[in-house]
Structure 1
Amino acid sequence: MLFDKFQSMVDFRAELAERGVKPFGAVTEEIYSATEGRVEGRDVILAGTNNYLGLSYDPRCIAASQAAAQRWGTGTTGSRVANGSFSEHQALEADIADFYGVDHAIVFSTGYAATSGMCATLAGPGDVILLDGDSHASIYAGVRLSGAEIIRFKHNNPDDLAKRLRRLGERAADALIIVEGIYSMLGDVAPLQEIAAAKREFGGYLFVDEAHSMGVLGETGRGAAQAAGIEDDVDFVAGTFSKSLGGIGGFCVSPHAELQAIRFCINAYIFTASSAPSVIASTREALRIIRAEPQLRQRLWDNANRLYSGLAGLGLRVGPSASPVVAVVLEDRERTLACWQALLEAGVYVNMVVPPASPSTYCLLRNSVSAAHTPEQIETMIAAYAALQDAGLLPAPGQA
């Protein structure tokens, strides 16, 4: 029967309904600030929003969005290749290209469209794609559409990448290598210096998805490639506006002039309406703020280090290093459900991740840190986890 493959999800949803737990699609009824809101009837600290620099609620971004809606209307009603290329879309492309110090950029309606569209188009039948095994679902969706040969290498393992490039022989020169800057589940950073070294030795084109690292890493916030000092080795950078920039949309930049021709071969670009002018305007303003206010990144990292150290100090199993994504790893789905609900009731909203969305068989309580969080809010989050230990929902220090 057509619906049989969905039965496991039907059963899981029924289990959640019976428990009265709603970790997926929890409804936000009100937003008070970048870090506070009302979720499922409770006033909470927002610790699951990816709002890394707090710009979704910045009054300057809101004002830019309002002015654009007044001038341009609520939407374009067409794709970029039809009537949907407004001067503001082109201006944002110029802004993004200038931010990254390259000449060419494409703006997409969503981050998912940016990564999946580029990954579906850059390589094709007869080509080879090598991608990190923990790549985002949008990357996997794209490469499957490409028709290229797909080779996965072990997560954050440059030696495994080099081994697989070596086996390709002459084909390695035209291979597409896909990695992320910061991986969204555990917050771990790609070893880009070593990955770039493998590319230099064997050839290929390097595609870096900076969705969770733009605005977060690098001297000027360009991401993990800038932080690693290997930007000259990167052929394509993709990213999203829905994290550090506080909006919605995506982009790809490149030093290669061919990108301007490639845009007219990307189905995810050609066959979808362009972003609303209000979103384009708020994104341009957010990008300006990122460039003008580097102290936002410092505040973000102060908060990230505080939360990571606090949770690690409780003896909880967290990611490999401090990051704006601080995940608590649990083996038991039942325990994870109970902890997520208890955190919500304690006034802390986080993300719950279970297989197959998590990068392993483990479950995650995924915390997103923002520059807008106060030190007191971070301490409240740590205290909420300590209360879970006191209640026996999480192992006490020394018992993990």
Structure 2
Amino acid sequence: MTDASQTPDSVALTDVLPNPTPRDLLSKFDGLIAERQALLDTGVRDPFAIVMEEVLSPTLAIIKGRKTILLGTYNYMGMTFDPDVVAAGKYALDKFGAGTTGSRVLNGTYQGHRECEDALREFYDMESAIVFSTGYQANLGVISTLCAKGDYIILDADSHASIYDGCWLGNAEVVRFRHNSVEDLDKRLGRLPVEAGKLVVLEGVYSMLGDIAPLKEMVAVAKKHGAMILCDEAHGMGFFGEHGRGVFEEAGVADDIDFVVGTFSKSVGTVGGFCVSNHPKFEVMRLVTRPYVFTASLPPSVVATAAASIRKLMHAGDKREHLWKNSRRLHQGLRDLGYTLGTPTAQSAIIAVMMPDQAITVATWQALLERGLYVNMARPPATPAGTFLLRCSLCAEHTDEQVTEILATFAAAGRATGVIPQA
């Protein structure tokens, strides 16, 4: 019998066609690479590769050899250099070493992790608290674990990337509603099966524009439709509400929120994430949440600094008052100079200075940096298509004199680039 593989009709395609070249998996980013290179070719510094050579305080650093005011960090309450916080971290580093080398469910729970969770329970006045290695992992883990196939996650269209990634890691149906629209939330919830499990995910403060959610109205709508509620207070913890718990406290809806997620990398001044809850079954999350079970726990020095900071934030009324004064003053001052801002009034510690296009955004950002002021430059995809802005994040440690200097720097830079009128 003749071997069919030897017949002329079965010649391998590779003998006729040239060998295909495998696709470069990074080629999908060629457009972005070219855009970034074109930007750098104009002589500007890379806005996304700033190196702080030395950090002098929560509000000052050395960048390119120059003393620079920091207006682009999330150090809202200025806790990074608090003497008690730093001392707690040094003590834990000496006593417990540099790291845990294990997961929380294995060898990675030290006394400090429990003390940090105790501090969170006391701060939020809730029964349960779970600490994650980052705020990103907190959203990733909690959202993906709560909602499974057949459940629905209803989220604001402007939600943070960690919230979206938590949705994608799980297997639930995702429903988006228009940013901060109570009516659209109500309409979309009304279309869902009554018997289905539903989680509405909200943020107290939205990080790009610094606007706050109408939590009172949204919580009422969610409860009307039988949905559970998760509120991300990453940018609200520390200075909203009587006790600094967040926008949900200030809105008076604490008893109706099922889960509060937050981070240590902003007002707390270190790194890590958490979720607090009064749900009687919440502790089971320690056994079923993958980003908690399958990652190393925070180093002892980190949870020690977090616990010390959280306990001090319970009594930080003066800091909160000064931060709000800074926010209102900077917002009004920028408006008076002629800048267009993302919110009509100061709604949080974030003030977004809207820009007409990328070229002007970059030029103004560099003009500020060259004059000793660092802010964040934001562009798509971090912002909606066609939206460019400079994001200012105020700190409770900014002095009145620094706010005066910040406004003077914005005046000089904006006039130099033509964003605002000449004096």
Q: Check whether the contact 2:105–2:286 (CA below 8 A) recurs between aligned residues.
A: no
Q: CA RMSD of the aligned region, Å?
A: 1.4
Structure 1 position 133 matched with structure 2 position 157 = yes
Deviation at 1:40, TM superposition (A): 3.1
In structure 2, the partner of 1:380 is: 405
Q: Check whether the contact 1:332–1:363 (CA below 8 A) recurs between aligned residues.
A: yes
In structure 1, the partner of 2:233 is: 210
Secondary structure of the 1:366 match is strand
Deviation at 1:265, TM superposition (A): 1.2
Deviation at 1:360, TM superposition (A): 4.6
Deviation at 1:71, TM superposition (A): 0.5
Structure 1 position 330 matched with structure 2 position 355 = yes
Counterpart of 1:165 (choices 180, 189, 200) is 189
Counterpart of 1:61 (choices 69, 85, 88) is 85
Structure 1 position 46 matched with structure 2 position 46 = no
Q: Aligned partners of 1:390 and 1:157: how far apart in 2? A: 36
In structure 2, the partner of 1:363 is: 388
In structure 2, the partner of 1:199 is: 222
Structure 1 position 6 matched with structure 2 position 29 = yes
Taking the TM superposition and a 5 Å limit, the aligned residue runs for 1:89-104 are: 89-104=113-128
Q: Check whether the contact 1:314–1:397 (CA below 8 A) recurs between aligned residues.
A: no
Q: Aligned partners of 1:84 and 1:385: how far apart in 2? A: 47
Amino acid at match of 1:329: M
Alpha-carbon spacing, 1:171–1:133, altered in 2? closer, same or farther (3 Å)? farther
Structure 1 position 290 matched with structure 2 position 313 = yes
Structure 1 position 31 matched with structure 2 position 55 = yes
Q: Aligned partners of 1:190 and 1:15: how far apart in 2? A: 38
In structure 1, the partner of 2:289 is: 266
Deviations 1:192-211 (A, max 9, x none): 00001102211100000000
Q: Aligned partners of 1:195 and 1:102: how far apart in 2? A: 22
Taking the TM superposition and a 5 Å limit, the aligned residue runs for 1:270-349 are: 270-320=293-343, 321-322=345-346, 323-349=348-374
Deviation at 1:95, TM superposition (A): 1.3
Alpha-carbon spacing, 1:397–1:168, altered in 2? closer, same or farther (3 Å)? farther
Q: How many residues align?
A: 397
Alpha-carbon spacing, 1:259–1:40, altered in 2? closer, same or farther (3 Å)? farther
5+ long unaligned stretches in structure 2: 1-22
Amino acid at match of 2:32: M
Secondary structure of the 2:192 match is helix
Q: Aligned partners of 1:308 and 1:213: how far apart in 2? A: 18
Structure 1 position 353 matched with structure 2 position 398 = no
Q: Check whether the contact 2:158–2:179 (CA below 8 A) recurs between aligned residues.
A: yes
Secondary structure of the 2:262 match is strand
Q: Scaled by the length of structure 1, what TM-score is found? A: 0.97
In structure 1, the partner of 2:13 is: none
Q: Check whether the contact 2:123–2:311 (CA below 8 A) recurs between aligned residues.
A: no
Structure with the greater alpha carbon radius of gyration:
2
In structure 2, the partner of 1:222 is: 245
Secondary structure of the 1:390 match is helix
Deviation at 1:270, TM superposition (A): 0.9
Secondary structure of the 2:255 match is helix
Deviations 1:177-216 (A, max 9, x none): 0010001111000000000110221110000000000002
Deviation at 1:149, TM superposition (A): 0.4
Q: Aligned partners of 1:331 and 1:392: how far apart in 2? A: 12
In structure 1, the partner of 2:418 is: 393
Q: Check whether the contact 1:215–1:222 (CA below 8 A) recurs between aligned residues.
A: yes
Q: Check whether the contact 2:199–2:227 (CA below 8 A) recurs between aligned residues.
A: yes
Deviation at 1:92, TM superposition (A): 0.9
Deviation at 1:13, TM superposition (A): 2.8
Q: Aligned partners of 2:217 and 2:106: how far apart in 1? A: 42
5+ long unaligned stretches in structure 1: none
Q: Aligned partners of 2:226 and 2:112: how far apart in 1? A: 37
Deviation at 1:397, TM superposition (A): 8.1
Counterpart of 2:257 (choices 234, 251, 260) is 234
Q: Aligned partners of 1:306 and 1:396: how far apart in 2? A: 20
Q: Check whether the contact 1:105–1:254 (CA below 8 A) recurs between aligned residues.
A: yes
Deviations 1:52-84 (A, max 9, x none): 010011111111111110011011111101110
Identity between Structure 1 and Structure 2 (%): 46
In structure 2, the partner of 1:188 is: 211
Q: Check whether the contact 1:42–1:344 (CA below 8 A) recurs between aligned residues.
A: no
Deviation at 1:345, TM superposition (A): 0.3
Q: Check whether the contact 1:182–1:212 (CA below 8 A) recurs between aligned residues.
A: yes
Q: Check whether the contact 1:94–1:105 (CA below 8 A) recurs between aligned residues.
A: yes
Secondary structure of the 2:298 match is coil
Q: Aligned partners of 2:272 and 2:418: how far apart in 1? A: 38
In structure 1, the partner of 2:177 is: 153
Q: Aligned partners of 1:245 and 1:98: how far apart in 2? A: 15
Alpha-carbon spacing, 1:146–1:384, altered in 2? closer, same or farther (3 Å)? same
Q: Aligned partners of 1:300 and 1:171: how far apart in 2? A: 45
Q: Check whether the contact 1:44–1:348 (CA below 8 A) recurs between aligned residues.
A: yes
Q: Scaled by the length of structure 2, what TM-score is found? A: 0.91
Q: Check whether the contact 1:315–1:397 (CA below 8 A) recurs between aligned residues.
A: no
